[in-house]
Structure formats: structure tokens, C-alpha cells
Structure 1
Amino acid sequence: MFYNLPGYNFISNPRNVHRGGGVGLYVNNMLSYNVREDLTIMNEKVFESLFIDIQFNKKIITCGTIYRSPGQDKNSFDSFLKNLNNSMVKTKQLNADVYIIGDFNLNLLDSTNLQVNMFTDCMFENNFMPLINKPTRITDSSATVIDHIWTNVLHPVDTYILLDDISDHFPVMFCCPEKFDTRQVQPHRCYNRQNYTSFITQLILLDYDLITNKTDPNEAFDILLAHLQTSFEKAFPLSKSNGKTGKNEWYDKELNDLNKAKQTAYKKYLKKKTTARKLQYHQMRNQYYRMVNSKKKTYYQKLFGKHRNNAKQTWKTINSLIGRNKTTNYMLNLKVDGKLITNQIDIADHFNKYFSTVAEKLVSQLDKPKTSYQMYLGPTSKSSIFLFPTCPGEIKIIIEKNTK
């Protein structure tokens, strides 16, 4: 499960067979972007990628992430290199600024490694240069540069390696030299897979008889164009973000101070790896995560208790915890026996009729039984159940007791 970042859209290219792996991107919801399907590849444990085009200050910036699993054999690496070269050739033809970031599991410091040399040759041949040249993964016995940032941008780009213990890899980042004025955010359209699917669905459900039955081609074209524009606006609506990202209300000053102390202990340990410093860092880390879990548990216990009689707010809290974004897809049209139904009440009636007659239709397809079901029943007992008479007042009292 991915981590929900308020103010960001999460897009991913996950694996379908093997556990782990996959790639994803968080995109600021003030930015308009398109997923590059031609560069987005899922060859599990070999080449996993996700690329997007970001519309940024009247120009296009292509950003991508690539993951290569460690320990590949020769055939897998050859396949990785082939996918990489094809992707790099396509990006070379874009005539745009391209940034590629990812865990390649190829140590750029190991100049004697044949696979590393073949990889870097491929990148250099396509006009890409590395921005990270210091270790991004440090253990007690090794220091490797396996987390890369590559770009075809020639002007200087600020890059950073963050000394953070969020994982066994140091986070790497770069600052794009382009300046984005958040005070003048223009409305934009989001061209993601979900919206594309919605657009295609609306086109499929379109009643084309209204067009083909017209004898005047100009009139038919105007009707088709109007339907296309309506479907486009519904599938790709203009949106404008206020840029507010929100915050975790359970994260207070006490946690912030403890996190800083943990980070300080971690940096001291990296500078001088002694047993005492390692022990101190582990103690600070464990204390911090225990406090995080405790504060989150207390906060959400109070929140669920506050909304225990409000199902809507309860589910809103649950969805925020699991990072489920609110998406509403309305079915505007329904085809039944070749006839297009647009009235919402008629659509609901057809759904009710379909699902309420499923059992009846299935039973009609079965062979008629030779014996009655009553043969398998035991003797009846007239005193097996007794129903007490009741009244609306008694029902009201029971309901009020259960809602307190």
C-alpha cells in the first residue's frame, strides 16, 4: 500500500505477478500531466518504468522512474538493456528536458563491472549524464551508488543525497531550475488512465443512430462534434488547486523534536561507526517509532469515538488512513437489448430487474428434480417458534438504546 501524501496525486505501474517492486510517482496536484504509455513498461523483475509529461510554464518536462531488480542473470540484463535503450532513444527524440530517477542496482563507482559499463554507455550515447556520484547505500561493509538521477539538461541542476533512515537507501533528489509561480495557477486537465477510460466509455455508449440517420452531413458532423466536446469536458474537467497540502494532526512538536534527535544520532553514526553510536541511534529510532504509533493510535481512537454514530465520517476517516481517494463515476447511459437508456430511473429499474431475476433465470436452466426437497426434511414441530406481538413504541425504544 502506498503512503497518502495530501496535495499530491499518486500514479503507479505495479506488478501483477510477483510481490514487491513496481514504480510510482507523486505529482503535485497543481501540475497538469500526461502518462507516457509508450515509455511506461512492466517487465517484472527486469525493467519496470513509469514516465509522465508535465506541462510546466508553457513547456513540457518529461519525468520518469525506473527500477531494476538486483541479481539479474545475463539474459535478464540483456532484456533490461534492450528496454532501456529503446526508451532512451524515444526520449532523445522528444526534444524536451528529461529527468530519470530510480533504483538501478548498478553501482556507478564500480568501473570494472561489465554491466555497469554497458549501462552507462547506453545512457551516454543518448545524451544523458548522471547527477549522483556519491554513495546512496552504505552498510558496514560497502558503499555503493545504485540510486541514480539522469538528465539530458545541460545547465546546472542542484542535486542532493538526504541522510535519512527512511530505508536502507538514502533518498536522492534534484531541484528543477524552472520556477513555478504558485500564485498564478492556471486551470488544467488531468489526462490519466482513469479519465481516458471514462472518455472511451462515454464514446462507446454514444447513440450513433442520432448521427447516422441524418441525411445532411453538416448537421451530422455538428451533432457528433457536440457529443465529443461534452464527453471530453466530462472526462477531462478543468480543475484548479489551491496548493494546500494539509498535515498530520497527530504529529506534534514532541515528535518533531524526537525525530531531529534521531536524525542527529544517525548522522553521527554515519560519520564514525562505533558500537556505542550505533546503539544510541537504534535506541532513538525505536523510541521515535514507538511514540509515532502511540500518538497515531490515540488520535484515531478519539476520532473514531467522536464519529461512532456517524457512518459517513467514520468511512471518511478510514479512507484517509488507507489513502483511498474519493472518486465518483456516474453511469450516464446504459444499453439494453441494443436500446440506449439515458433516464437515471430507468437505468436503476433495469439494474434491479436484472439482479432480482438472476436466481430465477439460473433455476430455469436446471434440470427438473426427480425427488422433492421435502424428502430431506425432518418431522415438523408446531411449537418451534413463537412471535411476541409488538408495537412502534417498543421498536423505537430498542433503536434508541442501540444508538447510544
Structure 2
Amino acid sequence: MKNLIESIQIADCLLYILTVGVCMPTLQTLRIIFISLQIYVEKTLNVRVIRDMSMVVNNILECITIEILKERKKNVIIRCIYRTPGSSIELFTEWMEEVFSKVSCKTIFISGDFNIDLLNPNKHKLTEHFVNTIYSMNLYPKITRPTRITSHCATLIDNIFTNYILNNTISGLLVSDISDHLPVFMGFDDNYKIIQLARKQEYRRIKTEETINAFKNGLMSQNWDIICNKNNINCAYEEFLKIFKRLYDKYCPVKVNNRKLKYVNHPWITKGLQNACKEKNTIYREFIRQRTKEAENKYKQYKNKLTNIKRAARKEYYSKILNDNKNNTKEIWNIMNTVIKNGSKKIDYPKYFIIRNTEKKWLKTSIHSL
């Protein structure tokens, strides 16, 4: 399953459209899941799922459709599509025309992996028919450069189609090796009303080598005579805890956490590995520019070596924390659960996976005509 990211930026909010396998940061999002598609929507947007336009057709396509509701303006339809490689282009084209003719009066964005090369449409009859059908629905492609590049070929099989033709949009490709496809994106600013959500402040205690040493020195220099002179052991213990907590709060204070930890879920990623990842991305960009076998081999060798180093670092990290907690059974199980990520084995598929009778009738008619 390809790890493709498409993103549409609406005002200050991001809508991420991506396939399974992409590692996302921790975001407060509404998630709609299909077999190979996911849509992440910012909670500040008023969104609904269009269920009769969200479906899975075996060995042909998968799609998810949402509608962004607006006040006093046209609603916006956003759809993420994955067309199965080798499936009928003619059937897929008919399906596109059938579905989108119903919502042509609204602003539409169709993003996805179509597996139809648009670089030379006139050389392939079915591709030319697909392009003409898209244009007839007043939909125009925003991506005009190859999205899948190798040392021997370049194809444009991922795109974003829209009937929004004003100039306040930005679109293009992101040079990233997250997949063998380059991620496509589009920025669209239409002054959406944003619901202000209350932000929950996070706090953390400052515990560094410097603050811990200062805390130890504070304990050493503290006068404990007041505790030793207590006749009641309970009163002495309460006094000890009071002094201990006061010194702890003084030298290791709790402060508002404003730092964004990029690798909070991957603590074994050191600064050196971060720099190595940046170097890998630089080598990948050089390969995209040069498109030579030598550049491709250089990138693959560096990537494979870096992958092995990251795996070794992860293994070493967990070996160390398991060894540090070898006498703590409960903590060992907590660590194991974070690695194994045990959860419910039950999979609940959305109801709109099921092909309805009208869709079955359309599919049977189309397949029979083909």
C-alpha cells in the first residue's frame, strides 16, 4: 500500500488526506478510515461525511468524500480516491462522471492516486477519454509535474482536480522519500470560520542534571534539627515531607511546557540520527534532480544503512530500559505493551463499505457494456 500524502490547506487549518502507513504527529483530529485511505480533518471545521459518495469497489477503486459546511457561501466537497492499478479506466471514468455530476454546483477538490499517467494523454485512447471527461465536468488538474520518478521513467499518476479556478490557491509537489510517489499538496484560502477551541496547557517538571545536583546540595545543607527534636514520629515525618517537597519545588520547578517534541514517540532518535535523516532527504532531492542510476544507488545505499542504524538504536534503547527495570515486573509489562501495542483485535468497518443496490445496478450495467 503506497504511503501517499496529499494535503489541502484551508486558511490556518490543515486537511490531511493520506493513505495507511504514514506516521502522523499527535493531532486533535477527526479521522475517517478506509482500507487504504484516511482523511484527517481539523476539528475547527464543520465537516460531514457524504456516505453515498464514500465507497469501496473491489479491484477498482476506494474513495472517501467529505463536505465542509460554510455559512453564506458554497459548501466545499473534498474527495480522496485510490484507483487500483490495472483496473478498467473506462469503468472508472464512467463512475467519476456519474458521481460528480450530482455536485457540480459546489466547490470540488478531488485528490488521490489515480494510476493514470497524464503526462502524455494523447498517446493512450482511454487516458485521453478520461482527461476529456474531467474537463467536461469543469475540473482541472493542479499538478502538472511527474509524481513518480525513477532513473528510467517519470509519470504523473497523482493529482488534485478542482473546479475552483481563482488565483488564491497554491499547489505543487513535496520532495520527500516517504513513498515512491512524491506527495502532492494544494493550499486553498477561503476565509473559513474557525471554531476556537480551548487549549489545554501542559506542564512538566524541570529535571536536568544541574537541577538534580542543586536539589541534592539543598538537602545536604538543610538543617534537620527541627525533625530530630520532634517527639512524635508522625509529626516528624510530616515535617520531613513538607521540607522535602519545598526544596523539590524550589530546585526542580513545574513550568508550562511550550516545547514541541518532534520525536516524543521515538526517544531513540538522537540528534545525530536527525541530522542523518536530513542528509538522506538531501541525497533524495539530488536523485530527483539528476535521475541517474548512480544517484539512485547512492540514495538507496544511504537509506538502507540509515534504516539499519535506526533499528539498532531502537533495539539498544529498549534493551537498556528493560535492563534498568529488570526487578520491576509491572514496568517491564508496561514497556512491552508500548512495543507490542496490544489492542482490540476486532475490526469495525464503516457502513459505507457496503455497496448499495443502486451502485450494484450501475456496476453490473457498466461491466456488461464493457
Once the two structures are superposed, residues 112-136 of structure 1 have per-residue CA deviations (whole angstroms, 9 ceiling, x without a partner) of: 2111121112211222110001111
Distance of aligned partners of 1:116 and 1:182 in 2 relative to their CA distance in 1, 3 Å threshold: same
Is structure 2 residue 58 aligned with structure 1 residue 40? Answer: no
Preserved CA contact (<8 Å) 1:10 1:27: yes
Is structure 2 residue 187 aligned with structure 1 residue 175? Answer: yes
Report the Cα distance in structure 1 between the residues aligned to 2:110 and 2:38, rounded to whole angstroms.
13
Report the Cα distance in structure 2 between the residues aligned to 1:68 and 1:33, rounded to whole angstroms.
24
Q: Match of 2:33?
A: 12
Q: Match of 2:363?
A: none
Structure number with higher strand proportion: 2
Distance of aligned partners of 1:273 and 1:124 in 2 relative to their CA distance in 1, 3 Å threshold: closer
Report the Cα distance in structure 1 between the residues aligned to 2:72 and 2:321, rounded to whole angstroms.
44
Counterpart residue identity of residue 281, structure 1: Y
Once the two structures are superposed, residues 258-289 of structure 1 have per-residue CA deviations (whole angstroms, 9 ceiling, x without a partner) of: 11111111222222244443332222212222
2:118 to 94, 101, 108: 108
Report the Cα distance in structure 2 between the residues aligned to 1:26 and 1:302, rounded to whole angstroms.
36
Distance of aligned partners of 1:151 and 1:288 in 2 relative to their CA distance in 1, 3 Å threshold: same
Superposition pairs of residues 64-143 of structure 1, within 5 angstroms: 64-72=79-87, 76-93=88-105, 95=106, 97-112=107-122, 113-143=124-154
Larger radius of gyration: 1
Counterpart residue identity of residue 70, structure 1: P
Distance of aligned partners of 1:141 and 1:303 in 2 relative to their CA distance in 1, 3 Å threshold: same
The Cα shift of 1:179 comes to 5.2
Is structure 2 residue 294 aligned with structure 1 residue 290? Answer: no
Report the Cα distance in structure 2 between the residues aligned to 1:167 and 1:4, rounded to whole angstroms.
12
Distance of aligned partners of 1:148 and 1:265 in 2 relative to their CA distance in 1, 3 Å threshold: same
Corresponding residue SS for 2:176: coil
The Cα shift of 1:246 comes to 6.3
Distance of aligned partners of 1:265 and 1:107 in 2 relative to their CA distance in 1, 3 Å threshold: same
Report the Cα distance in structure 2 between the residues aligned to 1:281 and 1:322, rounded to whole angstroms.
35
Q: Match of 2:284?
A: 266
The Cα shift of 1:55 comes to 4.3
Report the Cα distance in structure 2 between the residues aligned to 1:34 and 1:312, rounded to whole angstroms.
40
Preserved CA contact (<8 Å) 1:35 1:52: yes
Preserved CA contact (<8 Å) 1:159 1:174: yes
Distance of aligned partners of 1:310 and 1:90 in 2 relative to their CA distance in 1, 3 Å threshold: farther
The Cα shift of 1:104 comes to 0.6
Q: TM-score, normalised by structure 2?
A: 0.60
Report the Cα distance in structure 1 between the residues aligned to 2:322 and 2:343, rounded to whole angstroms.
17
Counterpart residue identity of residue 64, structure 1: R
Report the Cα distance in structure 1 between the residues aligned to 2:281 and 2:343, rounded to whole angstroms.
27
Q: Over aligned residue pairs, what C-alpha RMSD do you find?
A: 3.5
The Cα shift of 1:56 comes to 6.3
Preserved CA contact (<8 Å) 1:134 1:145: yes
Higher relative contact order (CA 8 A, sep 6+): 2
Unaligned runs of 5+ in 1: 15-21, 188-243, 325-404
Preserved CA contact (<8 Å) 1:31 1:56: no
Counterpart residue identity of residue 86, structure 1: E
Once the two structures are superposed, residues 290-311 of structure 1 have per-residue CA deviations (whole angstroms, 9 ceiling, x without a partner) of: 2332333344555667585159
Corresponding residue SS for 2:330: coil
Superposition pairs of residues 339-354 of structure 1, within 5 angstroms: none
Counterpart residue identity of residue 65, structure 2: F
Tell me which moved more, 153-162 or 250-259: 250-259
The Cα shift of 1:182 comes to 7.1
Preserved CA contact (<8 Å) 1:132 1:159: yes
Superposition pairs of residues 104-253 of structure 1, within 5 angstroms: 104-112=114-122, 113-156=124-167, 157-178=169-190, 184-185=196-197, 247-249=262-264, 250=267, 251-253=269-271
The Cα shift of 1:84 comes to 1.0
Distance of aligned partners of 1:115 and 1:64 in 2 relative to their CA distance in 1, 3 Å threshold: same
Preserved CA contact (<8 Å) 2:45 2:195: no
Q: Percent identity?
A: 26
Q: TM-score, normalised by structure 1?
A: 0.55
Tell me which moved more, 38-47 or 58-67: 58-67
Unaligned runs of 5+ in 2: 1-19, 200-258, 345-370
Distance of aligned partners of 1:88 and 1:183 in 2 relative to their CA distance in 1, 3 Å threshold: closer
Report the Cα distance in structure 2 between the residues aligned to 1:28 and 1:322, rounded to whole angstroms.
28
Is structure 2 residue 272 aligned with structure 1 residue 254? Answer: yes
